[in-house]
Amino acid sequence: MSRVIISGEEWSGAERDELAARLTSLGLFTEAASAAASTDAADVVVVRWPLSAASQACLSVHSPPCLRLLMCDTGNIPAQLPPSIDAVLPLHAGTVVIAETFAGLGFVPFSAADGERLWPALDALTGGDADIRMELVQSLVLTNTEDLAALSAACHALDWDQARAMAHRIKGTARMLDCQATVAVCQAIETASIRQDGDTVTALVPLLTQAIQRLLAALAAVPD
The enclosing domain of 51 has a CATH number of 3.40.50.2300
What is the model's pLDDT at position 18? 93
Q: For residue 212, give the CATH number of its domain.
A: 1.20.120
Amino acid identity at 99: A
Name the band, by pLDDT with cuts 50, 70 and 90, for residue 36: low
- Which pLDDT value is given to residue 220? 83
Structural domain including 39 reads 2-104
Domain final position from 63, 85, 104:
104
Q: What pLDDT is recorded for position 196?
A: 98
Q: Does residue 38 carry a pLDDT above 90?
A: no
Examine the pLDDT at 223 and tell me if it is beyond 70.
no
- Order of strands, edge to edge, in the sheet holding 44-48? 28-32, 2-6, 44-48, 67-72, 87-90
- Tell me, yes or no, whether 96 and 127 share the same domain: no
Average pLDDT of the segment spanning 108-120: 84
- State how far Cα 172 lies from the chain centre: 17
Mean pLDDT of 66-83: 86
User: Position 84: which residue type?
Assistant: S
Domain co-membership, 9 together with 40: yes
Cα–Cα separations (whole angstroms), residue 111 to 10, 140, 224? 28, 19, 24
DSSP string, 56-120: HHHHHT--TTSEEEEEE-TT---SS--TT--EEEETT--HHHHHHHHHHTT--S--HHHHHHHHH
Kindly give the residue spans of alpha helices, DSSP state H, lying in 157-196: 160-176, 180-194
Are 100 and 10 in the same domain?
A: yes
Higher pLDDT, 195 or 36: 195
The confidence score (pLDDT) of residue 42 equals 85
Contact 149, 190 (CB under 8 A): no
Residues 8 and 99 in one domain: yes
Q: What is the pLDDT of residues 162-186, one digit of tens each?
A: 999 999 999 999 999 999 888 989 9
145 shares a domain with 45: no
Q: How many domains does the chain have?
A: 2
156 & 70 share domain: no
For helices 198-220 and 130-156, angle between their N-to-C axes, nearest 10 degrees: 160
Backbone angles phi, psi at 195, to 5 degrees: -80, -5
Are 98 and 123 members of one domain? Answer: no
- Residue 46, helix vs strand vs coil: strand
State yes or no: pLDDT of 60 exceeds 80: yes
pLDDT score at 191 = 93
Rounded to 5 degrees, φ, ψ at 64 are -55, 145
Mean pLDDT over residues 124-128, rounded?
A: 94
Partners of 48 in beta bridges: 71
Share above pLDDT 90 across residues of the chain, in percent, rounded to a whole number: 60
pLDDT at 39: 58
- Asked if 118 and 177 count as a contact pair (C-beta separation under 8 A), the reply is yes
**171 with 202, same domain?**
yes
Query: Does the structure show a pLDDT above 80 at 40?
Result: no
Last-in-domain residue among 45, 76, 104: 104
pTM, full prediction: 0.85
Question: Based on the domain organization, do 18 and 44 belong to the same domain?
Answer: yes
Q: Tell me: pLDDT of 37 over 60.
A: no
The verdict on 137 and 177 lying in the same domain is yes
Say if residue 122 is in the same domain as residue 97: no
Of 76, 104, 132, which closes a domain?
104
Looking at the fold, whether 90 and 120 belong to one and the same domain comes out as no
pLDDT at position 154: 98
Average pLDDT, the chain: 89
Report the DSSP pairing between strands 67-72 and 28-32: unpaired
Q: What is the mean pLDDT of residues 32-49?
A: 75
Give residue 70's pLDDT: 95
